[in-house]
Amino acid sequence: MSRVNTRLTPTIDLDAAGKRNGFVRLPWSSHESAYGGPMIPICVVRGGRGPTVLAVAGNHGDEYEGQIALMRLIREIEPEEVAGRLIVLPAANFPAVLAGSRVSPMDGGNLNRSFPGDPEGGPTSMIAHFVETELIARADAVIDLHSGGTSLHYLPSTIVARSADPGRDAANRAALEAFGTPYGFLVDLKESRVLIGAAERQGVVALNAELGGGAHVTPASVARTEGYLRNLLIHFGLVDRRPEDALSGAVRLMTISGPRYYVYAPEDGIFEPAVDLGDTVGEGDLAGLVHDP
């Protein structure tokens, strides 16, 4: 058990009404800054009565759609438009975001494998502990905006945990359908080190979106991300539907049930895929070729 609460301190009141931009200070004494440390940006927008939604991006630093969409949301949204509270953490693993890297250059930490974290651990573990105990614990629902990053590419997809709690299981599924990516994955979250595992531990509805990949963004992938995010805020009653807001499309639900749902190359080389993302394949089909340079 941890002996202390979080060592991170927000520069803003997370609970008061109105709109506030600020930082969460991560104390980390280093050669460059003996009494300082990273300043993680945060925004809280609280209007009338309603639920609290936590929107996170930059959990991995090389996944950009969510970071861009949340920065834009912070600039545009006002408390008068919000029934409830929106907590926006657009660059959760801020050192990794600055480096454009999946993991933190401070400690090699992968934030999305660091929950529940430790207030007396390394920087990434301290961030995870703060996010779980101070932000997720305040929320009724959480959206964690990911993308494929450097090593992956996704069709727009949403991952939710199968919950042992039937009410939360149904609420996760309803939120996934409202968010509206064409694909949805139901996973058995034995790995509670991820953010949506932290949400499950805290009894909070949570989605993990996967919005593109290859460590780049396109105008279409950013626009899609903003549309999905808007759908979700409408679903939770945080904002009203505008005439220009698109309705959610149908979601194809799939399951990932263990290691045999993945294919790995046994050798190094140049990978040439034999199929496109979204194609239907069967056992024994050619997945691709690995060319030995």
Place of tokens 């409830």: 84
Structure tokens of 195?
Answer: 């953010």
What is the closest distance, in whole angstroms, from the C-beta atom of residue 60 to Ca ion in the complex?
A: 4
Give the residue with the Cβ less far from Ca ion, 54 or 239.
Answer: 54
Give the span between the Cα atoms of 138 and 161, in whole angstroms.
19
Can you tell me the distance from the alpha carbon of 238 to that of 233, in angstroms, rounded to the nearest whole number? Answer: 5
Q: Which is nearer to Ca ion, 46 or 60 (CB)?
A: 60
Minimum distance from residue 224 beta carbon to Ca ion (Å): 17
Q: Treating both helix axes as pointing N-terminal to C-terminal, what angle do 65-76 and 219-235 enclose, rounded to 10 degrees? A: 60
Pairwise CA distance, residues 172 & 238, whole Å: 17
Question: Measured from the CB of residue 71, what is the shortest distance to Ca ion in angstroms?
Answer: 18
Identity of the residue numbered 138? R
Helix or strand run (H / E) with residue 229: helix 219-235
CB contact set of 96 (below 8 Å; sequence gap of 6+): 58, 60, 61, 62, 102, 103, 104, 105, 111
Alpha-carbon dihedral 174, 176, 181, 183, rounded to 10 degrees = -100
Q: How far apart are CA 181 and CA 160, in angstroms?
A: 12
Give the residue with the Cβ less far from Ca ion, 92 or 136. Answer: 92
Nearest distance from residue 99's CB to Ca ion, in Å? 15
Q: How far is the CB of 267 from Ca ion (least distance, A)?
A: 26
The b-or-e profile of 53-63 (16+ CB within 10 A means b, else e) is: bbbbbbbbbbb
Beta bridge partners of 87: 44, 54
Binding residues for Ca ion, rule: CB under 5 A, are 60, 146
Closer of 146 and 173 to Ca ion (Cβ): 146
Residue that has been written with the tokens 């993308």 in this structure? 147
* Beta carbon of residue 63, minimum distance to Ca ion (angstroms, whole number): 5
Q: Shortest gap between Cβ of 231 and Ca ion (angstroms)?
A: 21
Tokens 């080190």, residue located: 193
